[in-house]
Amino acid sequence: MRKRFTAHDRSRTYLVLMVLLVLVAPATAQAQDVPDVVWEARGDSVSQVAFAPDGQLVAIGSSAGTVALRRVRDGQLVRTIAPSGGGEIRALAFSPDSQLLAVGTSMTYLHLTIWRVATGALRNGPFTGGGRSAAFSADGRFLATGTASQAILIWRVSDMQVLQSLRFTGYGNIVYRVAFSPDGALLASSGSNLYVRLWQPSNGTMVRKLAAGGIGVPKRGLVFLPDGRTLATASDDRSIRLWRVSDGAALRTLTASDPVRSLAVTSTGDTLISAGNGIAFWSVPDGDLLLTYDDQGVTALALSRDDRFVCYGRADGTVALVDDPF
């Protein structure tokens, strides 16, 4: 007699087939991985991280108002910078030659100071009002800083004179991020003002607004891709957006699992790295999520210029340097 399959037999066969499919299926693109940590350090809650362009040092800003300069190769503390007046470190930016470090702090007022990296000596400042965000131009001649009063200041680095004050009107006033295009012809700004704006820093003219919105306004991450034709922005609403610079067209929206606090792009422009509670790696050409690090409480992240290292900090004060991150 031919044996009849019972419901129990069918269920067992289905289970076996599903196990086989899992075993032979290729690994998914959204795989979680364990980072290859080179070193860890502990301190106060981390608010900002920045690599020196020459790859020798990484600066870690804290909520306690200090900046730790650590050696990339082993995490050794080289020196600590402590701007007067205290307040959380809100901005960190190395000059392209790695000789200067711009530091923005916030207490009662925003303060901007410029430090000599080799000695830890104060070079300029403190300047009141322009320390919410900071970015050097690629040639190192200019520094852009964001304020809490609806303005972006363009400084001449040689003597720290303000050349332009780029002002806007409307709702909101804090400039959370500024970024120069690779050729220095444009400056992008974002913040609590509902728009991402593109400016001509040479004459202070606003070129265009890229986006409008409410809670989803991009303000926590702002990076030009290396070709200068695309701008990536990130927001508290978990969105990462790509924009065409030439006409402000929205190209793609990626959705992270948490509010995005930091954003970086590789030197090739093909991978974005976002930090929320964890760290995620995204393919720029197709928007796919490539890899995640499930490391809770990440508050700041930076990628070295040669793409070899990622440094990130957490709210509990842990700093980690990861080798060969993707």
Rounded to whole angstroms, the Cα distance separating 124 from 308 reads: 32
Q: Which two tokens stand for residue 91?
A: 């901005």
Rounded Cα distance, 163 and 111, in Å: 18
User: Which residues lie across from 275 on neighbouring strands?
Assistant: 262, 279
Q: What's the confidence (pLDDT) of residue 17?
A: 37
Residue pair 174/195 in contact (Cβ under 8 Å)? The answer is no
Tell me what pLDDT residue 14 has. 41
Sheet strands side by side (includes 262-265): 31-33, 289-293, 279-283, 271-275, 262-265
Q: Where are the alpha helices (DSSP H) in the chain?
A: 7-24
Phi and psi angles of residue 48, each rounded to the nearest 5 degrees, phi first: -145, 150
CA dihedral 45, 48, 51, 53 (to 10 degrees): -160
Q: What is the 3-state secondary structure (H, E, C) of 89-125?
A: EEEEEECCCCCEEEEEEECCCEEEEEEECCCCCEEEE
Would you list the DSSP string of 254-305? Answer: EE-SS---EEEE-TTSSEEEEESSSEEEEETTT--EEEEE--TTEEEEEE-T
Q: Percentage of residues in the chain with pLDDT exceeding 70?
A: 85
Q: What is the pLDDT of residues 101-115, one digit of tens each?
A: 999 998 667 899 999
CB 260: neighbour CB atoms within 10 A? Answer: 26
**In the 8-state DSSP scheme, what is residue 167?**
E
List the one residue out of 112, 49, 123 whose CA is nearest residue 318: 49
Sort 192 into a burial class: Cβ within 10 Å, 0-12 / 13-18 / 19+. middle
Give the pTM.
Answer: 0.87
pLDDT band, residue 148 (cuts 50/70/90): confident
Burial class (CB in 10 A: 0-12, 13-18, 19+), 160: middle
Position with higher pLDDT, 5 vs 263:
263
Q: Which of 54-58, 89-93, 194-198, 238-242 has the lowest mean pLDDT?
A: 194-198
User: Tens digit of pLDDT for each residue in 114-136?
Assistant: 999 999 999 999 998 878 899 99
For residues 275 and 5, the answer to whether their CB atoms sit within 8 Å is no
Question: Where exactly are the structural domains of the chain?
Answer: 43-268
Q: What pLDDT score does 191 carry?
A: 79
- Winning range, highest mean pLDDT, from 150-164, 236-250, 287-301: 150-164
Partners of residue 33 on adjacent β-strands:
293
Distance CA 242, CA 234 (A): 9
pLDDT beyond 90 at 23: no
Q: How confident is the model at residue 18 (pLDDT cuts 50, 70, 90)?
A: very low
- In this prediction, residue 5 has a pLDDT band, given cuts at 50, 70 and 90, of very low
The structure tokens listed for 66 are 């200090």
CA angle 289, 295, 298 (to 5 degrees): 95
pLDDT at 108: 65
pLDDT of amino acid 24:
36
Provide the pLDDT for residue 200.
96
State which of 10-24, 213-227, 252-266 shows the largest mean pLDDT. Answer: 252-266
User: For position 296, what pLDDT does the model report?
Assistant: 77
Q: Are 87 and 107 in contact (CB under 8 A)?
A: yes
Query: What is the pLDDT at residue 221?
Result: 87
pLDDT of 263: 94
Q: Is 52 helix (H, G, I), strand (E, B) or coil?
A: coil
Query: Is residue 19 classed as helix, strand or coil in its secondary structure?
Result: helix
Q: How far apart are CA 321 and CA 311, in angstroms?
A: 4
Average pLDDT, the chain: 86
Quick: pLDDT tens for 257-299: 888 889 999 999 999 999 988 899 999 999 999 999 877 789 9
Write out pLDDT tens, residues 196-214.
899 999 999 999 988 654 4
The pLDDT of residue 9 is 46
| Strand 289-293 with 31-33, pairing | parallel
What does the CA dihedral 44, 50, 51, 56 come to, rounded to 10 degrees? -40
* Residue 307 binned pLDDT confidence (cut-offs 50, 70, 90): very high
CA dihedral for 103, 104, 105, 111, sign (positive or negative): positive
pLDDT, tens digit (0-9, with 9 covering 90-100), for 48-70: 999 999 999 999 999 999 999 99
Domain 43-268: top CATH class: mainly beta
Average pLDDT value for residue range 248-258: 90
Question: What amino acid occupies position 318?
Answer: T
